[in-house]
Amino acid sequence: TQLLEQSPQFLSIQEGENLTVYCNSSSVFSSLQWYRQEPGEGPVLLVTVVTGGEVKKLKRLTFQFGDARKDSSLHITAAQPGDTGLYLCAGFNAGNNRKLIWGLGTSLAVNP
């Protein structure tokens, strides 16, 4: 069974701090997606990483896919209250009946 473990599960920080959340697996994925979900809404896609070692930046967010395509990280620089939400990673393996494997998420609270 493929599993994606996200850490930390909860994170509460002050505005302006930096943070990193992790998404780890023992399985190899064809691609990995990161989503952010705000209360009362559905998840919204932030980025998809496909190539091992790939780094993508989205303003203050930096996403990295591990060289072996088994893990990924999300780094936020100078966090703002608007970054508050649940961050979810989802791994896709084309050989796994096309299902997305979801992590449980990291709940981030950025306090002003």
Partner 1 sequence: KAGVTQTPRYLIKTRGQQVTLSCSPISGHRSVSWYQQTPGQGLQFLFEYFSETQRNKGNFPGRFSGRQFSNSRSEMNVSTLELGDSALYLCASSLEGRGFNQPQHFGDGTRLSIL
- Tokens found for residue 33: 């997606």
Stretch that binds partner 1, among 10-18, 60-68, 69-77, 102-110 (CB under 8 A): 102-110
Residues 55-94 contacting partner 1, CB under 8 A: 88, 90, 92, 94
11 binds partner 1 (CB under 8 A): no
- Tokens found for residue 107: 């709940």
> Least separation, in Å, of the C-beta of 81 and partner 1?
21
> Least separation, in Å, of the C-beta of 18 and partner 1?
26
- Beta bridge partner(s), residue 110: 13
CA distances from 101 to 5, 7, 59, 71, 94 (A): 10, 16, 26, 13, 11
Phi, psi for residue 82 in degrees, rounded to 5: -70, -10
Tell me if residue 65 falls in helix, strand or coil.
strand
- Tokens found for residue 1: 């069974």
Name the residue nearer to partner 1 (CB basis): 61 or 88: 88
- Binding residue (CB under 8 A) for partner 1 from 15, 41, 57, 58: 41
> Least separation, in Å, of the C-beta of 92 and partner 1?
6
Write the DSSP symbol of residue 103.
P
Q: Which residues contact partner 1 (rule: CB under 8 A)?
A: 30-31, 33, 35, 40-45, 48, 50, 88, 90, 92, 94, 97-100, 102-105
